[in-house]
Amino acid sequence: MIRLDATAPSFAADFAALVDARRESDADVARDVAAILRAVKDEGDAALRDFTRKFDRHDLDATGWHIAAADCAAAFDALAPDLRAALELAASRIRAYHEKQRPDDLTFTDAAGVRLGARWRAVDAAGVYVPGGRAAYPSTLLMNAIPAKVAGVERLVVVTPTPNGEVNPLVLAAAHLAGADEVWRVGGAQAIAALAWGTERIARVDVVTGPGNAWVAEAKRQVYGVVGIDMVAGPSEIVVIADRANDPEWIAADLLSQAEHDVTTQSILFTDDAAFADHVATAVERQLATLPTGETARIAWEANGAIILVPSLAAACALNDALAPEHVEIATDDPVALFDRLRHAGSAFLGRHTPEAIGDYVAGPNHVLPTGRRARFASGLGVTDFMKRTSFLQLDAAALGKLGPATVALANAEGLPAHAASVALRLAKR
């Protein structure tokens, strides 16, 4: 874990190194992914079968390609009542939050008599990638699938790997609850290729969302333009801005909530109290000793964790913006005062009783968020990621008479005489 003091002479350089540290995979996976994509594009289901046998160690012809809706419903019905109720609560809150994101169509007539506007429509089909195996998260399925359905997507396709042919029943239950139309037992870069170009069994989609490993992320990067994507996500990250009035055990748990995801995750504490910083560091060590995911969390904390002493919590705001983190917690009595100073964060968690984990499951806002400083220019997943906007305009002869001469002048100036003629010919008939 890195300890920094914002008043130290070397702080600027040390903090810049922290900001610029590359935590995303250094493996050169681009060539391998390109080969996988090409194979699926050219060979379709045969390539999916071969890659699934190689990477997930089962034969799709034997275990089954498709998971029926009845099986998803059965998995949901078989859940323990408390877990089923938790999933239902999460789904209802996620749906309610995202329903408020639906954009309204726009239409108006301006002073020149031109009718202008924009019409929003959902894409025809969307694909959601859900990791399998160790990283099988039903919450992620809900966060990706529900906004798509709220947007009005008619065909929602879920792809998920099933290592050794084993299906995660929680993922199936979430697929049922979210209203997935298809569930396929394929994963990896090959699943992204199937969604982008289609195969004999799996019809292509228009948008692909969902997290995955470095190969999945690279596959999404390479198919962008063939399909839309949500984002290229990297390792999770959290910034916590906290004063000494907090319980150190709470803050330590918040930091570890991201560290346990993966060895490349980043957890950073900003505080204005040196003694509190020491207490949190001690609490982290104490919790790591008994945490079931402690092996992963310890590597992440020791390699990428940081505790930074600042002269004031207000000073942490500019430092946060340099990091542009996926998550930021502001654990103070008046978190809004600091939140109003922030410019860049994927999602903010305000107050002492709002741990980031609540946002991962049941709060409502989406937990699919920009990482790797991308919060400077990107937002979390939302309804409009599954929609597109079509602008429109309508002129009558009078309106064309007002706007046409300027159009002709500009078209001629740009050396586009056919553009000019298409307007001038109409003006001549007036």
Q: Beta strands 2-5 and 228-229: pairing type?
A: unpaired
Residue 203's pLDDT band (cuts 50, 70, 90) = very high
Q: What share of the chain is helix, strand, coil (3-state, %, to 5)?
A: 50, 15, 35
Asked whether the beta carbons of 244 and 273 are under 8 A apart, the reply is yes
- pTM of the predicted protein model: 0.91
* Residue among 182, 218, 260, 326 flagged as catalytic: 326
* Residue among 279, 327, 344, 367 flagged as catalytic: 327
Instruction: Give yes or no: 326 in active site.
Output: yes
Q: Give 167 or 78, the one with higher predicted confidence.
A: 78
Query: Tokens 């600027």 — which residue?
Result: 12
Q: Look at residue 242 and give its three-state secondary structure.
A: strand
For residue 133, pLDDT beyond 70: no
Output the pLDDT for position 262.
Answer: 86
* pLDDT tens-digit readout, 292-310: 999 999 999 999 999 999 9
Instruction: Give yes or no: 98 in active site.
Output: no
Q: Give 29 or 345, the one with higher predicted confidence.
A: 345
Q: Look at residue 160 and give its three-state secondary structure.
A: coil
Residue 232's pLDDT band (cuts 50, 70, 90) = confident
Output the pLDDT for position 26.
Answer: 56
Walk me through the domains of the chain, giving residue ranges and CATH numbers. 2-24+234-363 (3.40.50.1980), 30-112+122-229 (3.40.50.1980), 395-428 (1.20.5.1300)
Query: Tokens 């969604």 — which residue?
Result: 195
The predicted model gives 218-244 an average pLDDT of: 93
Positive or negative: CA dihedral 251, 254, 259, 260: positive
